[in-house]
């Protein structure tokens, strides 16, 4: 009973501001009659017409597919290169300068080149998403693996833990807190680049429809697009945090233990 009431209270603390914003938005936009701020009720109607589910397959799915493929690629390549660079000093010395150079190039600046090389298709978007997102994960993995406790490295040597076991049960878990931090930054970057690449060079996708709506003065549609993008961004972050909590439960537990001890 007590647990339920505390749960309710913390939910209330979390939700009061979003609810207030929506309520104020609803009434204010309903009565303001401003050209660029259509009533929220109309936005919701368009939201439902566009996304549920007329343009879901034609535009939402391609966006999500590009994001998923690009991000997965970035995650795999970033973790793999990070581990290799952390463990092979020669790879680190050879690649670290170029990695730091490439990661400081704003990803959007590469869109013109990407269009030239890869055209307007989904391949270009996946590539540019993967390219932009890879560095955060790579650098976090590199740091995480290098910062791992040297005693554990000695344990793996003495007990001759090698190959897959060493990678999956020692190296990666030891660096997992940093890797997940990197993956979260990569996710945010991937999402932003997904939208911008569609706004700059596309004939499909949520970003494309949103910018098209703006250019054709379909202001309500533009708001519906922005609303969807906002919701998706929030949803991805929530899912990520949930996964992170599961993967790092030992880390959280250990830290809480250290605090109380």
Q: How far is the CB of 138 from another protein (least distance, A)?
A: 22
Question: What is the C-alpha separation between 61 and 253, in angstroms, rounded?
Answer: 38
Q: Pick one of 176, 206, 209, 224: the residue that binds another protein (CB under 8 A).
A: 176
Nearest residue to 193 (alpha-carbon basis) of 138, 139, 127: 127
Question: What is the C-alpha separation between 165 and 152, in angstroms, rounded?
Answer: 13
Nearer to another protein among residue 109 and residue 261 (C-beta): 261
Nearer to another protein among residue 96 and residue 165 (C-beta): 165
Interface with another protein in residues 111-170 (CB under 8 A): 149, 151-152, 154-155, 157-163, 165, 169-170
Number of residues interacting with another protein: please give it, by CB under 8 A. 24
Question: What is the C-alpha separation between 199 and 12, in angstroms, rounded?
Answer: 37
Among the listed ranges 20-28, 60-68, 129-137, 172-180, the one in contact with another protein (CB under 8 A) is 172-180
Question: What is the C-alpha separation between 108 and 218, in angstroms, rounded?
Answer: 26
Q: Which long-range contacts (CB under 8 A, 24 or more apart) does 220-227 make?
A: 220/38, 220/42, 220/43, 220/46, 221/46, 221/50, 223/38, 223/43, 223/46, 224/43, 224/46, 224/47, 224/50, 224/51, 225/50, 227/43, 227/47
* Helix, coil or strand: residue 37: strand
Question: What is the C-alpha separation between 215 and 242, in angstroms, rounded?
Answer: 37
Residue 250 interacts with another protein (CB under 8 A): yes or no: yes
Among the listed ranges 7-15, 29-37, 207-215, 246-254, the one in contact with another protein (CB under 8 A) is 246-254
Residue 33 interacts with another protein (CB under 8 A): yes or no: no
Nearer to another protein among residue 157 and residue 238 (C-beta): 157
Nearer to another protein among residue 54 and residue 256 (C-beta): 256
Q: How far is the CB of 151 from another protein (least distance, A)?
A: 4
Among the listed ranges 6-14, 171-179, 209-217, 233-241, the one in contact with another protein (CB under 8 A) is 171-179
Q: Pick one of 6, 31, 257, 260: the residue that binds another protein (CB under 8 A).
A: 257
166-185 core/surface letters (b: 16 or more CB in 10 A; e: else): eeeebbbbbbbbbbbbbbbb
Structural contact between residues 51 and 58, judged by C-beta atoms closer than 8 angstroms = no
Residue 180 interacts with another protein (CB under 8 A): yes or no: no
Nearer to another protein among residue 230 and residue 253 (C-beta): 253
Question: What is the C-alpha separation between 77 and 105, in angstroms, rounded?
Answer: 18
**Residues near another protein (CB under 8 A):** 149, 151-152, 154-155, 157-163, 165, 169-170, 173-174, 176, 250-251, 253-254, 257-258
């Amino acid at each position: 009973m007590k647990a339920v009431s505390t749960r309710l209270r913390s939910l209330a603390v979390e939700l009061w501001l979003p609810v207030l914003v929506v309520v104020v938005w609803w009434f204010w936009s309903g009565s303001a009659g401003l050209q660029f701020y259509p009533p929220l009720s109309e936005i919701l109607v368009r939201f439902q017409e566009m996304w549920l589910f007329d343009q879901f397959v034609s535009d939402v799915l391609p966006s999500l597919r590009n994001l998923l493929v690009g991000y997965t690629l970035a995650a795999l390549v970033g973790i793999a290169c990070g581990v290799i660079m952390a463990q092979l000093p020669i790879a680190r010395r050879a690649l670290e300068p170029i990695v730091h150079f490439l990661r400081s190039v704003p990803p959007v600046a590469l869109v013109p080149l990407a269009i030239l090389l890869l055209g307007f298709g989904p391949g270009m978007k996946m590539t540019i998403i993967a390219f932009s997102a890879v560095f955060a994960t790579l650098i976090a993995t590199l740091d995480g693996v290098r910062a791992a406790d040297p005693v554990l490295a000695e344990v793996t040597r003495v007990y001759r833990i090698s190959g897959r076991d060493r990678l999956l049960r020692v190296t990666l878990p030891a660096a997992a807190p940093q890797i997940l931090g990197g993956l979260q930054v990569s996710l945010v970057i991937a999402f932003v680049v997904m939208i911008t690449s569609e706004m700059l060079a596309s004939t499909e996708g949520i970003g494309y429809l949103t910018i098209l709506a703006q250019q054709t003065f379909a202001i309500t549609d533009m708001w519906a697009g922005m609303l969807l993008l906002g919701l998706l961004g929030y949803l991805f972050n929530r899912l990520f945090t949930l996964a992170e909590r599961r993967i790092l439960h030992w880390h959280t537990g250990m830290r809480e233990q250290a605090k109380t001890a």
